[in-house]
Amino acid sequence: MFTGIIEAVGVVKALTPTGGDIRAHIKTGSLDLTDVKLGDSIAVNGVCLTVVELTSDGFDADVSRETLTRSAFVNLKIGSRVNLEKALMPTSRLGGHLVSGHVDGVGEVISREDNARAVQFKIRAPKTLARYIAIKGSITVDGTSLTVNAVNGNEFELTIIPHTLQGTIMETYRSGSLVNLEIDLIARYLERLLLGDKAGEVNNGAITEHFLAEHGFMR
């Protein structure tokens, strides 16, 4: 588990094809690795990766086909800057929100505008994720815990303060940038709970207006 509070910005130093997937070497910069051991988790742009080797300047992690398919990790190149966060400890402050490091989909930055000293971003999410994104709710963008300020269909807006811009890779975002999205855990599990016994049915799909009406949630 993570909090979505980025601890450092690292750099992709190597991407090595290995048996059908890849092994990534991440240079971690200012991230303190003294308490990290083999098998620990580190979120890289919001993707929970397992440390398989520690090096003098960072760590190696294997990136599966599943991760490459579901995330924007496939678009990273040698030299790409990445957000880094070590796994949450029981004594850590929960400064953001609970983040699993499991990417739900890839979004696209469609606009960027200055807003006083902050920057306003508009991001288009996959339509399948739109129902989980709510005004003043939490969303994780490339591993960063953020508050949704406005929603229009499958597009949502974020207002990013200077501190966040300087401490993450968000300063590099431009129109067309692809970003990893993770919806709020509560929204994900609430949907399953509302399905009740139907959650055990094969291909039951997501909650629909018909389902809500049938079970008295709509009139």
Question: H or E stretch including 186?
Answer: helix 185-195
User: Is 139 in contact with 184 (CB distance < 8 Å)?
Assistant: yes
pLDDT the model gives residue 216: 59
Domains of the chain by range and CATH?
8-86 (2.40.30.20)
What is residue 128's DSSP assignment?
G
pLDDT the model gives residue 64: 95
pLDDT the model gives residue 202: 63
Whole-angstrom Cα distance, residue 67 to residue 65? 5
pLDDT the model gives residue 193: 85
Whole-angstrom Cα distance, residue 173 to residue 44? 16
Q: Which residue has the tokens 């139907």?
A: 198
Residues in the chain with pLDDT values less than 50: none
